[in-house]
Protein backbone atom coordinates (compact mmCIF):
# COMPACT_ATOMS: atom_id res chain seq x y z
CA UNK A 1 0.00 0.00 0.00
CA UNK A 2 1.68 3.17 -1.17
CA UNK A 3 0.58 6.77 -0.77
CA UNK A 4 0.26 9.36 -3.46
CA UNK A 5 3.47 10.28 -5.29
CA UNK A 6 5.44 13.20 -3.81
CA UNK A 7 4.86 16.60 -5.37
CA UNK A 8 7.37 17.65 -8.02
CA UNK A 9 10.24 19.88 -6.84
CA UNK A 10 9.67 23.62 -7.28
CA UNK A 11 11.05 25.27 -10.36
CA UNK A 12 14.34 27.10 -9.79
CA UNK A 13 13.94 30.86 -9.48
CA UNK A 14 16.04 33.41 -11.29
CA UNK A 15 17.72 35.26 -8.40
CA UNK A 16 19.28 37.91 -10.67
CA UNK A 17 16.00 39.55 -11.67
CA UNK A 18 13.89 41.41 -9.11
CA UNK A 19 10.79 39.57 -7.99
CA UNK A 20 7.47 40.86 -9.28
CA UNK A 21 6.31 41.72 -5.75
CA UNK A 22 9.14 44.24 -5.26
CA UNK A 23 7.71 47.50 -6.44
CA UNK A 24 9.53 50.80 -6.88
CA UNK A 25 8.74 52.07 -3.38
CA UNK A 26 10.26 48.98 -1.78
CA UNK A 27 13.41 49.29 -3.85
CA UNK A 28 13.63 53.02 -3.06
CA UNK A 29 13.19 52.33 0.65
CA UNK A 30 15.92 49.67 0.59
CA UNK A 31 18.24 52.04 -1.29
CA UNK A 32 17.60 54.80 1.25
CA UNK A 33 18.22 52.41 4.14
CA UNK A 34 21.46 51.22 2.56
CA UNK A 35 22.55 54.84 2.11
CA UNK A 36 21.76 55.53 5.77
CA UNK A 37 23.78 52.46 6.77
CA UNK A 38 26.76 53.66 4.74
CA UNK A 39 26.56 57.09 6.38
CA UNK A 40 26.44 55.48 9.83
CA UNK A 41 29.52 53.40 9.02
CA UNK A 42 31.37 56.51 7.81
CA UNK A 43 30.48 58.33 11.03
CA UNK A 44 31.57 55.34 13.10
CA UNK A 45 34.91 55.25 11.28
CA UNK A 46 35.47 58.94 12.01
CA UNK A 47 34.57 58.41 15.67
CA UNK A 48 36.95 55.47 15.94
CA UNK A 49 39.73 57.56 14.38
CA UNK A 50 39.19 60.28 16.97
CA UNK A 51 39.11 57.69 19.75
CA UNK A 52 42.39 56.21 18.53
CA UNK A 53 44.02 59.64 18.75
CA UNK A 54 42.63 60.12 22.27
CA UNK A 55 43.84 56.71 23.41
CA UNK A 56 47.33 57.39 22.04
CA UNK A 57 47.39 60.55 24.17
CA UNK A 58 46.24 58.60 27.23
CA UNK A 59 48.97 56.01 26.65
CA UNK A 60 51.60 58.72 26.35
CA UNK A 61 50.39 60.38 29.57
CA UNK A 62 50.37 57.09 31.49
CA UNK A 63 53.90 56.24 30.36
CA UNK A 64 55.08 59.71 31.34
CA UNK A 65 53.46 59.48 34.76
CA UNK A 66 54.89 56.01 35.27
CA UNK A 67 58.39 57.36 34.65
CA UNK A 68 57.77 60.17 37.16
CA UNK A 69 56.55 57.67 39.75
CA UNK A 70 59.69 55.59 39.23
CA UNK A 71 61.82 58.68 39.96
CA UNK A 72 59.77 59.45 43.09
CA UNK A 73 60.12 55.86 44.33
CA UNK A 74 63.91 55.91 43.82
CA UNK A 75 64.16 59.25 45.67
CA UNK A 76 62.01 57.93 48.51
CA UNK A 77 64.15 54.80 48.84
CA UNK A 78 67.36 56.88 48.91
CA UNK A 79 65.98 59.02 51.73
CA UNK A 80 65.27 56.03 53.99
CA UNK A 81 68.01 55.26 56.57
Distance CA 35, CA 49 (A): 21
Q: Note whether 21 and 12 are within 8 A (CB).
A: no
Put simply, whether the predicted model's pTM sits higher than 0.85 gets the answer no
Q: C-alpha distances in angstroms, 1 versus 4, 5, 6, 63, 79?
A: 10, 12, 15, 84, 103
pLDDT of residue 23: 79
pLDDT digits (tens, 9 = 90+) for 12-48: 766 555 555 567 888 888 888 999 999 999 999 999 9
The CB-side HSE value for 47 (13 A sphere, CA atoms) comes to: 6
pLDDT digits (tens, 9 = 90+) for 39-79: 999 999 999 999 999 999 999 999 999 999 999 999 989 87
Amino acid sequence: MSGPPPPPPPEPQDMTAPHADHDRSTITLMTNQFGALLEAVKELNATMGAQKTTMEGVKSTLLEHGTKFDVLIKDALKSEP
